Structure 1
Amino acid sequence: MKDILSYVIQSKTLTKLTLSKSSDPKILRTTGRLIALKDGIYLALESFLSDGKAVQKNIPAAQAADIVAALIPDQYRQLNITAAGGSCEVKVSKKGKVTVLNHIKKSDSSCACLTHNREKQYILPSNTPVDFLVALGVQDENGRIFDKKRSKFRQINRFLEMVADVESSIVTGKELYILDLCCGKSYLSFAVYYYFTHIRGYAVTMDCVDLKEDVISFCSDIARKLNYTGLHFIAGDIRSFPIRRQPDLTVSLHACDIATDIVLAKGIDSGSRVILSTPCCHHEMMHQLKPSGKDTDFLMEHSILKQKFADAATDALRCKVLEINGYDVTALELIDPEETPKNVLIRGVKRSHTDPVRIAQLKAEYARICDLLGVHPYLWDGYAK
């Protein structure tokens, strides 16, 4: 393990490392990347805490491998390394058995630029052809990103970073079951499947469901041509789609209006270990918000502000529903707001234990908020009462 760390740090091929399964309940995870400061190369570590705060620390590259290796197994029981030459996973069982799955290939190349303003190092490289990116028209056959697809390329990589951040909660065995609901043209379906099969080396069955038969036919043809045998596209209604088993991950990108609520309901009902959803087109609450003589009426005086408030309130209540149903929830920024106004990602990670008292408090809080606003969201009756 230390040799692998030394190689990716000294060769400057490290893209990202993630330490998880902390022995300290206050620490959710710690991530690391290489940066170049005026006095040399450093490993920038960022620890994410349970209270929402983050703590940063820069370690000189010469000392970084020793320091990170010393954190396992006493402080962390899992280490994931993503580098230019592949990936590596280190796991420590509860009995202390260490398992190392190393898929990093050594090469003479290194990251060309390491500064705070350096060119970003992506999980999917920007100068190497990736089969599904070529097939979907994001790259040419030489790996060049088409100008009109650069924002889509950044979005795909940002989403994969978020998947990687919660990978330890997704992966419970060697075979994964993943859902993509309201999948559309399915850039992310292909990306998530590629990440877990080609980069991480897992066996994956992934069901992608959408109402649009022409889109499903198009994506099915590409999956066949790429020999993505575990990637299935199904035309149908996500509400009636039969799920094979408890999903390890449920994703949905920009499902419109209450379609996002239906996705969340499907994820909750199936007991999905992780849910990643980016909402879109928040019409339901916008139509329900009416002046009622309450102190909140001022929010409805200007239509553009009313819409922004409805968007934020809708997603905040969705987060509350996931909490009520046993998930640790975070709302994140998916990508630069200049590239898309629909930029919130809701992340739910299923808890192993629930607190009935806390759930009752959350339900009461949810009801008070809905009463204050005079709204009745789609998820209230089945998932928050």
Structure 2
Amino acid sequence: MTGILTARPVPARSKAFDLLLAGGLSMTFGFLAVAQTGLGGVLAFGMLVPLIWRRTHPELVFFGVSAIAVLQWLAGIHLMAGNIGLLVALYAISVYGDHRFSRIALIVGGLGVLMATSRYYNGGDWKQQITMMGALGAVVFGVWAIGERRRTRGLYVAQLEERAAQLERDRDREAKLAVSNERTRIAREIHDVVAHGLSIMIVQADGGLYAADQSPEQAKKALATIGDTGRASLTEMRKMLGLLKQDEQPELDPNQPRPQPGVSSLPELIDNVRDAGLTVDYQVTGEPRDLPALLGLTAYRIVQEGLTNTLKHAGPGARTCVQLDFGREMLTVVVTDDGRGAGVAPSSDPGHGLVGMRQRASISGGTVSAGPKAGGGYEVIAKLPYHLPTGGEQ
């Protein structure tokens, strides 16, 4: 609850209006009250001048004006034109004041009606007195009710404005979150491209260096593979980095979506890895089916990351097997090798590759498990349901 001594913020235009209102009422009804009641009319100015602060301190203004009205009643001064200040103050507290003080003000107004009729309208019969009491009570209650209605409407408008502002904040927050998610996805894509391409280039460079003296032709082939892999990786990375330049990125044609690799691209990926010197067995079981773009991309990247890890950790002479099982409810992707990866001491940091695989699988509603397999080697198993979870990325 706002304290009655605390000034409420009021626009400068409203302050100017209140100054003109109080000044106009004082000049009109104040001097009229002086003419009606003589020196007692000075009290009228005490009821009208405080209206300058009717918005900033509505409670103080109302109870101050009411106190002056009580002095008028005690002095026996008849009702005068300056009493209009009571109604203006009552309206102000019902609109701008605290709700509980507004209720008290209505009670004070009702007591004022009883006091006025008992003092100023006690000469006639009881019917006339009741009629006058009802008329004054209707005026007081009507002024208060109009103020309450305006307060309620103002609160409703303020709630609508706050709701609209909250919706705008939510929209901006969701837009920023979408941008953040997209940048995270692009970062994963860049990691996959760079890590896979560099792994192949390193293996080819090592092989070319070893064969440079004994088999120049093999060394030339390795150098050619390094160049092709580097150019392909650089081209794909440039495409993805271009997405980060959103201010310069033209609006994409919805009829020409950006192509993404999928399960159909796996044979080409495996051929590139074979050219790097890794023995890869590719097996497909079950009845192949068309997959959603996200699911196909997820399967492709998991295989790519699994082969990259094999190139980096399995050691020379390792054999790798990639298996795709098109089951009834889900696609199962298995990448295994028989190298020395199982003997490598586990790290407290699982690496961006494994984290990326798990994130991709979770977005598609699937799971990924990775670790050493019995008998040696390493194994990655991903289970990807065909139907995306509700609200998943499309």
Confirm or deny a common fold (TM above 0.5). Answer: no
TM-score by length of 1: 0.21
TM-score by length of 2: 0.20
Whichever structure has more helix as a proportion of its residues is 2
The structure having more radius of gyration, on CA atoms, is 2
